[in-house]
Amino acid sequence: MKYRTIGTDPRTRRQVSVLALGAMLFGSVTDEETSFAVLDRYVEAGGSFIDTSDNYAFWVDGGQGGQSEELLGRWRRSRGIGDEVVIATKLGARPLAPGTSYVDHAEGLSAKVIRESAERSRERLGVDRLDVLYAHIEDPKVPLRETVEGFAALVAEGTVGVLGVSNHAVWRVERARAIAAAAGLPGYEVLQYAHSHLRPRTDVPGDLFPDGSLGHAGPDLLGYLRDEPGLTLVAYSPLLKGAYTRPERLPSDYDHPGTPARLKVLHEVARETGATVGQVVLARQIGGALPVVPLVGVSSVAQLEENLAAVDLELTPEQHARLDAAH
């Protein structure tokens, strides 16, 4: 396994594996035995960065979520897992009541919600401190300063380590970070967005959000990442939910002339390396110029094994350049 550091403050920054494991469906769609087997193998291979959220997976049973955090808590206790494994979670998108949607009825990012939700997550996970805590989705109803100060208060108390943000417009991320910097407070340092080799259109409703731009790491966010060396991008859905091997799964916002051209080069590089297409996608993120940690979701140990093999796949500078240039 290879590792990189997230966060810049010596008191809270953490070293994490370059491949993160998503636990979104653990404890709901993926049963406990399978989830434990995947988690065990991931840690055995040197994996140390697990991702969840307080609302996972509310859509499965029409509840409010929490199954994933609860399963991770049981796994930690049963295996004696300590702070050698970094667990990141998110808040702000938990439905207010069972049977509702986070789109219209999310808890939001008020100082009160941040404090109470973080406390519930710590209880479910069985930890004294949340290693990484994200603002999951935007909350335009709450002033950014209140949100920034709410997260910073938890860092000051020692119950949260590194702060992150997901699915926000880049200008709101920058504004929040500027508010934090001006006040001498910790700001967002880990950005979690959908990111893969294929690029979606952002001028049409996307698979993730009605505003197709919010959930994806577009040119503006990647440029921001280049200009801010202290930031790390955690790339969710890097394999597009299996669409590289099952094209019928490709979301409609990827249906544009650039997709076939990018796929052509991707398959060429896969043949040259003897790797699978998915492994090339992951290796490109792990070994690229930007600080990107791909976040993979799997439902079996076999799927995990294929993804783990990407860590040791090194593409040549020429292959990286060809993949970058394809459009």
The single residue listed with the structure tokens 């994933």 is 68
pLDDT in tens, 155-167: 999 999 999 999 9
H/E run at residue 224: helix 219-227
**Residue 235 near residue 307 (C-beta atoms within 8 A):** no
DSSP string, 249-308: GS-GGG-STHHHHHHHHHHHHHHHHT--HHHHHHHHHHTSSS-EEEEEE-SSHHHHHHHH
| pLDDT tens-place string over residues 56-69 | 999 999 999 999 99
Domains and CATH numbers, the chain: 3-325 (3.20.20.100)
My answer on whether omega of the bond before 57 falls inside 30° of 0, hence cis, is yes
Residue with tokens 């859905």: 237
Is 73 a residue whose pLDDT tops 80?
yes
Q: pLDDT higher for 17 or 229?
A: 17
- Binning pLDDT at 50, 70 and 90, where does residue 205 land? low
Q: What is the pLDDT of residue 211?
A: 55
User: Given the structure tokens 């509310």, which residue do they identify?
Assistant: 58
Q: What is the pLDDT of residues 1-27, one digit of tens each?
A: 999 999 999 999 999 999 999 999 999
Residue given tokens 């998915």 in the structure block: 278
User: pLDDT category, 215, cuts 50, 70, 90?
Assistant: confident
Residue with the two structure tokens 């809270």: 12
| pLDDT 10s digits, 288-308 | 999 999 999 999 999 999 999
